[in-house]
A and B are shown apart, each in its own frame.
Chain A
Amino acid sequence: METFPLNTTIGFIAMAIISLVSLLWSVSLNNKLIKRPSPKIYEIKMDSSKILTDTDMKDVRDKAQKQLSDITEQATSRLQQSLNNTVDGISARLNDMTETSLSQEFEKYQVSLEALREQSIEEFSKLQKELDTRRNLYSEQLDKKVVAEFKKRMELFDGRLNDVVSTYLVESLGNQVDFGAQANYIISSLEANKDVLKKDILE
């Protein structure tokens, strides 16, 4: 993307340089033509033989200047035309190059992306399969462990059930409990709450 403006800029700079050089060259030619020394021999001849009058000299000079001007104009025109053609060519070339390279780059990019996508899909599929496998494996292992632990706990609980229940009953109900005859428990409960009972019943 950055190549296009850079190339264009370089083209413009080149054009400017060429134009400047052409201009300088034409000015230089012009100066050379202007400053070309007139052969003294003619002046001497003119002065001596009076072949060319001042008026003739002036006409000649005007003609020469006119021809020079025409030549310069033609040269400038041709140069301008040449420059225009060059610029158009360069521009077209730059466009072609840009389009070509951009298209190629895009194609490469698309190919790379497609390959990456396929690779990613493949990797993810593998990962998913592996995860499923591991999850099933761990799930089965966990189930087995839970069942085993449950069995173990139940066996332990069954083995200790008598102790657990007996201890629980004793600790919950106290030592006065005799399931055959509950008199001690009942009387001790009444004794423990005697004051409250007396107050509530007699009030």
Chain B
Amino acid sequence: MSTGLPIDLYSPDQLSVLMLELYKHTEALRNNRARTRVTKKSDSTPPVTALLLEVLKEFDISVDDLTAAEQLLPKLELIRSKALVVHVILATPPNEDLRHQITQWFRTEIHPLLFLTFAARRDIGGGMLLRAGSHQYDFSFRKQLLDNKAKISEIFIRLQS
């Protein structure tokens, strides 16, 4: 059983939505089980989102395994309560590929159960700003360019000669 989180599950909000979905899924499974006892006919498994399916797969849980699904809920609740959250600000909203790369890097290099939030701010030009707790890091283009203001005249003179 893998204890990691799928790469598509990157934010605490997603986790909350996912837990709600899992809770509804377990209810649906419980209802199915009750109906099956009465009618002696098994209903089809209720549909789940791709993300929940991926999470169940990560935890080696079958979609129709009610007991395992019920046990997963407190685990996810524990993960949510202790989750490390890093806020990432980019110049534009990230595409899926960039979001995956950033999430992957943080979970590999920092912590496997780390969550990210993404926001966009045009004025940073490019690069990113990071905020984790009380710490903030500026890897934006704007800062890099402002830190090297003196270079523009230096380059101009160098290119002139």
Contact B139 A186 (CB under 8 A): yes
- CB within 8 A of A186: which of B98, B109, B151? B98
* A167: chain B residues within 8 A (beta carbon): 155, 159
A113 within 8 A of B: no
Q: Does A168 contact B (CB under 8 A)?
A: yes
CB distance from A119 to the nearest CB of B (A): 55
Q: A185 is contacted by which of B110, B126, B151, B159 (Cβ under 8 Å)?
A: B126
For A158-193 the 0/1 string (1 means CB < 8 A from B) is 001001100111011100010101110111011101
CB <8 Å contact, B152 and A160: no
B29 to chain A, nearest CB (A): 37
A168 proximity list for chain B (CB < 8 A): 145, 148, 151-152, 155
Q: Quick check: which of B16-24, B41-49, B127-135 contacts chain A, the rest being far away?
A: B127-135
The contact of B144 among A156, A172, A194, by CB within 8 Å, is A172
Cα distance A157–B156 when bound, in Å?
8
| Docked complex Cα distance between A171 and B156 (Å) | 13
Q: Given the complex, which residues of B lie within 8 Å of A171, measured CB to CB?
A: 148, 151, 155
- Which residue of chain B lies nearest to A171 when distances are taken between CB atoms in the complex? B151
List which B93-142 residues lie within 8 A (CB) of chain A: 97-98, 101-102, 105-106, 109-111, 114, 126-128, 130, 132-133, 135, 137, 139, 141
**Would you call A182 and B145 a contact (CB within 8 A)?**
no
State whether the Cβ of A201 lies closer than 8 Å to any Cβ in chain B: yes
Q: Quick one: CB contact mask for A42-58 with B, threshold 8 Å, 1 for yes?
A: 00000000000000000
Residues of B within 8 A of A156 (CB): 160
A13 vs B126: C-alpha distance in the bound complex, in angstroms? 113
A201 near B159 with CB under 8 A, answer: no
Provided the pairs A173-B141, A189-B128 are in contact, do residues A201 and B111 lie with their beta carbons within 8 angstroms? yes
> What size tier do the contact residues of chain B reach?
20 to 34
A200–B130 CA distance with the chains assembled, in angstroms? 12
Picked from B98, B145, B160, the residue with its CB within 8 Å of the CB of A181 is B98
B105 touching A187, Cβ below 8 Å: yes
B128→A186 contact, CB < 8 A = yes
Nearest B residue (CB) for A201:
B132
Within 8 Å of chain A (Cβ to Cβ): is B86? Answer: yes
Smallest CB separation, B46 vs chain A (Å): 38
Give B21-49 as 1s and 0s: 1 = Cβ < 8 Å from A's Cβ atoms: 00000000000000000000000000000
A197 near B155 (CB under 8 angstroms)?
no
Query: Given the complex, which residues of A lie within 8 Å of B155, measured CB to CB?
Result: 164, 167-168, 171
Chain A: minimal CB distance from B73 (Å): 26
Smallest CB separation, A152 vs chain B (Å)? 11
Neighbour of A193 across the interface among B84, B101, B137, B156, CB < 8 A: B137
Question: Is there an interface contact between A160 and B98, defined as CB atoms closer than 8 Å?
Answer: no
Task: Report B-chain residues with C-beta under 8 Å of the C-beta of A40.
Answer: none
B97:A183 contact, CB within 8 angstroms: yes
Please tell me if the beta carbons of B144 and A173 are within 8 angstroms of each other in the complex. Answer: yes
Complex Cα spacing A156 to B86, Å? 47
- For the complex of A and B, the 10 pairs showing the least CB-CB separation, nearest first, are A189-B139, A172-B148, A200-B135, A201-B132, A167-B155, A168-B152, A173-B144, A172-B144, A164-B156, A160-B159
Would you mind naming 14 contact pairs between A and B with Cβ atoms under 8 Å apart?
Answer: A168-B155, A173-B127, A177-B126, A182-B126, A182-B127, A183-B101, A185-B139, A187-B101, A190-B102, A197-B132, A201-B110, A201-B114, A202-B84, A202-B110
Q: A186-B90, A189-B139, A191-B105 are in contact. List 5 more A-B contacts (CB 8 A).
A: A168-B152, A172-B147, A182-B90, A185-B126, A196-B137
